[in-house]
Amino acid sequence: MKLSRKRILLFTVIFLFLIGLIFTAVYLKSLTDYKKAVRETAFRNIDIPDITDGVYVGEYDVDFVYAKVEVMVQNGAITNIDILEHKNGRGKPAEVIVDRIMEEQKIDVDTVSGATNSSVVIKKAVENALTGEK
């Protein structure tokens, strides 16, 4: 029994369509989980003057956005923050958030407009550096 070319083509198109639906569903689930992780990111109130002088490394990953930072503390103040890695999509403008953190000497500063998710991830990476959490 031979299948006609039209039937083979039809089955192929249906198969590819179903594969596309599966990949789309997986992607949308990942995107939903990412947005939820950013939305639920909470910050602790860290007393910067109580942090021992030193250089601390921290990271934070919410799948679509990742940051790894190095934070220098001297004389009870954050004196430098280097962004070692930042997987960000379109969130590169958020990298100025480290200047805000150093200016205000606190982690929970206002996010960068248009780069909110990356701002949150970078801030949490700084917090994780100072608290030793992952």
Give the CATH number of the domain where residue 92 resides: 3.90.1010.20
Residues 80, 71 contacting (CB under 8 angstroms): yes
With respect to residue 16, please indicate whether it lies within any of the assigned structural domains.
no
pLDDT (tens digit per residue) in 27-49: 888 888 888 988 999 998 899 99
Domain that holds residue 107: 48-131
With respect to residue 37, please indicate whether it lies within any of the assigned structural domains.
no
Distances (CA, A) of 34 to 11, 45, 53, 56: 35, 24, 34, 26
Stated pTM of the model = 0.82
Please give the backbone phi and psi of residue 55, each rounded to the nearest 5 degrees, phi first: -115, 130
Question: How many Cβ atoms from other residues are within 10 Å of residue 70's Cβ?
Answer: 16
At a CB cut-off of 8 Å and minimum separation 6, what does 10 contact? none
With respect to residue 39, please indicate whether it lies within any of the assigned structural domains.
no
pLDDT (tens digit per residue) in 78-118: 999 999 999 987 778 899 999 999 999 999 899 998 889 99
| pLDDT beyond 70 at 2 | no
Helix or strand holding residue 79 (H, E): strand 77-87
With respect to residue 65, please indicate whether it lies within any of the assigned structural domains.
yes
pLDDT (tens digit per residue) in 7-16: 888 899 999 9
With respect to residue 4, please indicate whether it lies within any of the assigned structural domains.
no
Number of domains in the chain: 1
